């Protein structure tokens, strides 16, 4: 892996952690902007680097937040990695709307399914509006920032350096 690509991955992980500290009050807990850099990393660097960014960033964000769900954060980190990987794969094929819809639905409905069995239907349903808001905000911001960042990096680096 090239040094430039590793540096970009590290920078995006740091931005994910910074985004985790930007909280939007929600019905259950709060919504953070921690997945915007991971989604951008998936778009710019590819699906696997995007998934790595999402996984590591979630674990670091959870660690900073005191690990309220304990080891369950590993499961959530893996879920976020899969969602960002899927988003980037579909996005790269030119299906931006489909990628966005799948990320939002996956983050809102599918990723919290373990809570349905652990905490019950009430908690699962109560969690969904917050997750929907978070997924929408993160996805829309990533979609708005992606064209400018792609142009910037392509002008600074060769296309091989960021793909």
Query: What average pLDDT does range 38-62 have in this prediction?
Result: 93
Nearest to 59 by CA among 42, 77, 84, 75: 77
How confident is the model over 54-106, as pLDDT tens digits? 999 989 888 887 887 788 889 999 999 999 999 999 999 999 999 999 999 99
What is the pLDDT confidence band of residue 160, given thresholds at 50, 70 and 90?
Answer: low
CB–CB of 140/34 below 8 Å?
A: no
Q: In this predicted structure, what is the pLDDT of residue 159?
A: 55
31, β-bridge pairs: 24
What is the share, in percent, of the chain residues with pLDDT greater than 70? 92
Would you mind telling me the total number of residues written for the chain in this entry?
Answer: 163
The better pLDDT of the pair 125, 70 is held by 125
List all residues 6 or more positions away from 137 whose beta carbon is below 8 Å from its beta carbon. 24, 31, 33
Nearest residue to 82 via CA among 55, 119, 61:
55
pLDDT at residue 107 greater than cutoff 90: yes
Strand-pair partners of 30: 25
pLDDT of residue 163: 46
* pLDDT over threshold 90, residue 136: yes
The mean pLDDT of the chain is 89
What are the tens digits of pLDDT across the range 13-35?
A: 999 999 988 877 766 666 788 99
């Amino acid at each position: 892996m090239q040094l430039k690509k590793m540096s970009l991955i590290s920078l995006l992980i740091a931005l994910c952690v910074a985004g985790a500290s930007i909280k939007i009050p929600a019905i259950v807990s709060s919504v953070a902007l921690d997945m915007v850099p991971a989604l951008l990393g998936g778009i710019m660097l590819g699906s696997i680097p995007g998934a790595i960014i999402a996984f590591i960033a979630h674990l670091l964000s959870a660690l900073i937040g005191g690990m309220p769900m304990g080891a369950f954060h590993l499961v959530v980190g893996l879920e976020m990695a899969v969602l960002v990987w899927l988003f980037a794969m579909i996005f790269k094929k030119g299906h931006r709307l489909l990628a966005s819809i799948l990320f939002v639905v996956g983050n809102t409905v599918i990723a919290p399914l373990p809570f349905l069995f652990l905490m019950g239907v009430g908690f699962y349903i109560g969690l969904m509006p917050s997750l929907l808001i978070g997924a929408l905000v993160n996805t829309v911001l990533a979609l708005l920032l992606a064209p400018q960042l792609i142009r910037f990096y392509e002008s600074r680096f060769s296309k091989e350096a960021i793909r």
